[in-house]
A and B are shown apart, each in its own frame.
Chain A
Amino acid sequence: MITAERKPLEELIEYIKPYKRILLLGCNECVTVCAAGGRKEVGLLASGLQMAMLKNGKNIEIQQHTLERQCDPEYVEELVQMIDGADAVMSMACGCGVQQVAMRYKDKPVFPAVNTKFMGASERQGVWAERCQGCGNCLLGATGGICPIARCAKQLMNGPCGGSVTGHCEISEDVDCAWQLIWDRLKALGQTERYLEIMPAKDWRPAGGSGPRKIIREDLAE
């Protein structure tokens, strides 16, 4: 899932200051699940903006709407009915959703309300952690199912650096050493010998090294 986090209110206020009627959009997919931009967060933000703007001496109108999935044009199309009533759009979806709206409604200013963070998994209620960087060439098969690209602070592909202490990364006690995890997994799988294989320098092209990426399924694409 894509994770995101609401931007500081101050920043959002700067965005919308020039406008009176705001369409505030949520998305019922990833950002709902990570409690950043679902129906509820839209409600909270609408209320917060309203109050903050009022304190700035301005009464704004905020229309709230949560799309099923803001990264799909058909859903974004729903907004046709309400877009005219807004001077600007603020979206709590991830960057994809924001851009989708911007692309569709070319004459409307569109602002992001969240910072899109990473592809993460939920560790427990209210905690999400980065698990994948979308490098486009998955090497989990060689690393016991744990990704050193996303989870090692130095993206080391051949083992832990000298800063790995009792399972933690040198950058923080709260970060697991990915290589400790990989090593533990390899041991559990009885594949410790795999560690000795030197992983060659990575081809970063599938990771975006060769520009914006695209997937085309010929059979489906129209």
Chain B
Amino acid sequence: MQNSNKTQTPNNKILVVGGGLGGIRTALDLAEAEKDVVLVDNDFTIGGLMTQLDRTFPTNNCDLCTISPHLSESNRQEHIELMSMTSVENISGEKGNFTASLRTAPRYINLDKCTGCGECYSAFPECVRFTPGLDHRAPTCMRYPQATPQAFSIDLKKCEDVQALVKVCPAGAINPDDMPINREVKCASVVLSPGASLFDPSHLDYLGYANLPDVVTSLEFERILSASGPTGGKLVRPSNGEQPKKVAWIQCIGSRGLQKGAGSYCSNACCMFALKEAIVTKERFQEDIETTIFYMDMRTFGKDYELYLNRAKNEYGVRFIRSRPHSVLQPEGETDLLLNYTLEDTTEPLQEKFDMVVLSTGFKTSEATRELASKLGLELNDNFFPVTDGFNPVVTSKKGVYVAGTFESPKDIPETMVQASAAAFMAASELGPATETVVAEDEDEAAEELLERDVSLEEPKVGVFICDCGENIGGLVDVNTLVEHAAKLPYVAVAKAEGHGCSRISMENIRQTIEEEQLNRVVIGGCSPRTHQAKFEDLLQKAKLNKYLLEIANIRDQATWVHPNNPEKATEKAKDLIQMSVGAVVKAQPLAEQSLPMNKNVLVVGGGVTGMTAALNLADQGFQIYLAEKSDKLGGMANNLLKTLEGNDVQAFVGDMVDRVKNHEKIQVFTRAIIVDHSGMPGMFTTGMQSGKQMFYRQIEHGITILATGALSNRPKQYLLDESSVVRTQLETQRFIADNPDQVKQWENVVMIQCVGSRTQENPNCSRICCQNAVKNALAILDVNPEARVFVLYRDMRTYGFQENYYRLAREKGVIFVRYTTDRPPVVEAEGDKVNVTYYDSILSMNVSVTADNLSLSTGLIADTDSTEELSMIFKLPRTADGYFLEDHVKLRPVDMPVPGFFVAGTAHSPKLIRESITQANAVSARAHTMLARDEINLGAGIAKVDGTRCAACLVCVRACPFDIPFINAEGYSEIDPAKCHGCGVCASECPAKAIQLMQFEDDRILAKVEQLFERVIA
């Protein structure tokens, strides 16, 4: 062990600019990999855009609940220095040796003293900053209740009586003499994730945004829906406070070059965003509201997003109109809004009344970030987004500077999270291989542990803290009723309502209460222990209590959320759940945790570009990699790709990568490798595989598993594919164009059909890659043969992000894009050595026939279900309905599998482009690194313990244990190695002598729940 202070010179810090979700993820990944981070954000709390959302697609979860643990996670990491209200004035120097000049604006509030009580704001609302900064109408007290740092900020300019303001603060935290602080930070690399702004439609008179209060942006609509928003989550029309009956969304505002000042790109996330808002709106009001989305192309190309679109259509009855309304008006004396639009098959002007119109505004970079970029010398594209590497989008034109999130290009949360992790990895790799950077805090930690209060001899003294979780709980049940009930229960010393229990202020309150009242057991009435147990366990530790003296009553997920129409029953059930938890916590005992050494080898399954990238990344960091490839050579699907849409040479790239992998001393490649068995636990897996021509069996010990098994090219038997020689997949077309330019020059007509075998009954999802493929090949054909007529028959063109520019270019070059619908698909017939394609042209309202020299089918990708099924059985991992691996959390943990130590990247996750796959590979590297940086795996305390005096040495546990852990020791009774126990409790439940207890789930604790439940029921 070596003191980290020696290796941590000032120059191995990483500066992360932007404290949004991406910045937080980057900082966390770096910190967990034992890298020091300075996280700066110019806002007064971190969290970024996501904290303003009500729910997120496609899970429709409440964001606050999912993000808040991350935020406090961020706050507690000792490797992260968080600087809020701080801007980057300048960054000079080169990779490995940057100097950043930072300026922190005065908050006029001493963060150490402020408790976030809100007295200042209620007395002087005008001079306390709170605005979400997006809105001319919607003030809210604090941006969101779990804010980090949990404090207000004073706008001194607006304050008339400074002295009165100072006095109003009970904590004495207001300091009007606060000064800006300038500081220089040395850092080795920089990650920019300042996010993007949203397009401001104020100047677009015809949309009425500037003067019609019921025309709002999608983010404003989100705020109105949000429980922490200005209306407390009530959806009302800003003009009159009444519930709207008809809401329309207009897509592509500020995107696809459609309006003045709009970006030329597609903003990527707005379609899903609008769908989500429409669904949530429908969920709230059911039949009582109509929702309509006006769109050009529905771009639901993400993982399972197409299913979301189908749900919106089929289950929620959201109405879709393919049209771009040209104006929103409010006729004199009326309250309704009048939308004027036309449909594509008629020229007839149509009008429809709505009472709210939502503008789906796109992303754009802000002035400030552009300025920052220019200071750093970053090259920007025409749309003022950074120019990035063709194969690695987080790499900028400036060495040592990485970008992630919406500043890189418009994108949704999962992709932001992926890039954030990827950027973290790239930035960390600057610092070289992970040396023995061992925590300097060892002693401190040990000292802290000693501080745990010994409560073993005390009578139980329970504190019950009940969250309202905003509207989530408080909206349905009266928290005070629950508190009153809890207060009467045996051993309960304190019962309190705690608002958002997981907010910093509540956490602090709870901690204080525990200490002041000398509580020795805690019950939280709130949300799921699955998400929040760790957070409250930490809290107990801070309060010097053993963290296992805790029970969480899940009164949100199990009561208020699922009994929304019956507050009475929800209340009674919440009481039950709380009482059960109190009964159980009384039986809780302090427990000690177990740990084991971490195996630092990595198994990468899949030797395509994704797998190789991850392998090289981690091998370069000094970890031993075993790379298992099913086929007989490396490279995967990329072996068939020639160029990317942007023109990068894939073959050269892959060839170089294969060479590096083969020659890397830390990578052992197995080809023709099949995984056959697997055992162990995160950090110490053993996997058996057969490889080579001889199917030689060997076992590998590893701590991490990365799944990069890829997907398959789809090849449905449609449109004469494999029957006519002129019918090709897009992949084959690409190869044909490259190999046979002379023949291509002879082509008169080329037809391409999109969504062949995708978005169908059998394969309901979008293959994501095909639209840009079609555009790429169309442009390539025109390069060779400018005279060719190219028809692309599509359902929705999904050229997201900057691909939109190529789509436009193709149109400009004369490629004819014609939409078809599934009820009138194109018909293909052989005609001599050509094919005849007949399609219905809705603009012309007639069938059109083209005799094509080449028909290219966009067949997309399908999951390699044979492989994923087998692997999911061996590794015990979930899959999506269509056979891709299913990650732990589709938004916030997109590359982590639910089983710790397993990660997924590339097309095994869902269809994606090579660049996106590489980004995921980099992200996985970062996520894996967070585990690999540890020397030990914490096994928790949930293990089985044997009471030797009761044990009859009957061997039941020895035989029942799924992992063969128990044995009869020399003393003649069963012994269970705490380091090996997986904590399933099977032995405990089968022991005939009742000599085994599973810690945290002891019999008396479970029975206490049963007893308490019926005590209430029967009483």
Contacts and interface: CB of A to CB of B under 8 A. Distances in A.
- A/B: CB atoms within 8 Å of each other: yes
Contacts of B952: 28-29, 32-33, 38
Interface stretch (B299-307, B394-402, B991-999): B991-999
Nearest to A33: B954
A113 to B, nearest CB: 15
A41 interface: yes
A28 B947 CA distance: 13
B487 interface: no
A125 B950 contact: no
B134 interface: no
A28 B960 contact: no
A32 B956 CA distance: 10
Contact of B956 (A35, A39, A41): A35
A28 B991 contact: no
A122 B960 CA distance: 14
B959 interface: yes
Contacts of A122: 955
Nearest to A28: B952
A32 B993 contact: yes
A43 interface: yes
Contact of B959 (A28, A43, A66, A124): A124
A39 B959 contact: no
A43 B887 CA distance: 43
A39 B995 CA distance: 9
Contact of B950 (A33, A35, A39): A39
A43 B960 CA distance: 21
Contacts of B954: 32-33, 38
A142 to B, nearest CB: 31
A200 B995 CA distance: 49
Interface in B941-981: 950, 952-956, 959-960
A40 interface: yes
A28 B954 CA distance: 10
Contacts of A32: 952, 954, 992-993
A124 B959 CA distance: 8
A44 B954 CA distance: 19
Given A28-B950, A33-B952, A40 B992 contact: yes
Contact of A125 (B956, B994, B995): B956
Contacts of B993: 28, 32, 38-40, 66
B367 to A, nearest CB: 72
Contacts of A38: 952, 954, 992-994
Nearest to B953: A33
A28 B955 CA distance: 14
A40 B991 contact: yes
Interface in A17-45: 28-29, 32-33, 35, 38-41, 43
Interface string A28-67: 1100110100111101000000000000000000000010
Contacts of A35: 956, 992
Interface in A152-191: none
B990 to A, nearest CB: 8
Nearest to B1007: A43
Given A28-B950, A28-B952, A33-B952, A41 B992 contact: yes
A70 to B, nearest CB: 13
A41 B994 CA distance: 9
Interface in B419-453: none
A103 to B, nearest CB: 24
Contacts of A43: 994
Given A28-B950, A33-B952, A39 B992 contact: yes
A122 to B, nearest CB: 8
Interface string A104-146: 0000000000000000001011000000000000000000000
Contacts of A124: 959
Contact of A39 (B955, B960, B994): B994
Chain B CB count within 10 A is highest, among A41, A124, A125, for A125
A43 B952 CA distance: 17
B525 to A, nearest CB: 30
B493 to A, nearest CB: 32
A40 to B, nearest CB: 5
A209 to B, nearest CB: 33
Nearest to A30: B952
Nearest to A43: B994
A32 B990 CA distance: 11
Nearest to A1: B954
Nearest to B994: A39
A126 B429 CA distance: 56
A125 B966 CA distance: 14
A33 B957 CA distance: 11
A174 B429 CA distance: 66
Nearest to A124: B959
A40 B956 CA distance: 13
A125 B959 contact: yes
A35 B994 CA distance: 11
A121 to B, nearest CB: 12
Nearest to A36: B992
A3 to B, nearest CB: 12
Contacts of B950: 28, 39
Chain A CB count within 10 A is highest, among B954, B992, B995, for B992
A122 B993 CA distance: 17
Contacts of B956: 35, 125
A40 B950 CA distance: 11
A43 B994 CA distance: 10
Interface string B700-711: 000000000000
A6 to B, nearest CB: 12
Contacts of B960: 125
Contacts of A41: 992
A39 B992 CA distance: 6
Contacts of B991: 40
Nearest to A66: B993
A125 B954 CA distance: 10
A33 B994 contact: no
A43 to B, nearest CB: 7
A125 B956 CA distance: 7
A40 B994 contact: yes
Nearest to A31: B992
A41 B954 CA distance: 14
A66 B954 CA distance: 16
B167 to A, nearest CB: 65
Contacts of A29: 952
A196 B959 CA distance: 41
A137 B696 CA distance: 56
Chain B CB count within 10 A is highest, among A40, A41, A124, for A40
Interface in B542-599: none
A116 to B, nearest CB: 16
A43 B995 CA distance: 13
Contacts of A40: 991-994
B959 A33 contact: no
B910 to A, nearest CB: 43
A40 B991 CA distance: 8
B989 to A, nearest CB: 9
A52 B991 CA distance: 25
A73 B659 CA distance: 80
A28 B995 CA distance: 10
Given A38-B993, A38-B994, A43-B994, 18 more contacts: A28-B950, A28-B952, A29-B952, A32-B952, A32-B954, A32-B993, A33-B952, A33-B953, A33-B992, A38-B992, A39-B994, A40-B991, A40-B992, A40-B993, A40-B994, A66-B993, A125-B959, A125-B960
3 cross-chain pairs, A with B, having the tightest CB-CB distances, nearest first: A38-B992, A33-B954, A39-B994
29 contacts: A28-B952, A29-B952, A32-B952, A32-B954, A32-B992, A32-B993, A33-B952, A33-B953, A33-B954, A33-B955, A33-B992, A35-B992, A38-B952, A38-B954, A38-B992, A38-B993, A38-B994, A39-B950, A39-B992, A39-B994, A40-B992, A40-B993, A40-B994, A41-B992, A43-B994, A66-B993, A124-B959, A125-B956, A125-B960
Interface of A: 28-29, 32-33, 35, 38-41, 43, 66, 122, 124-125
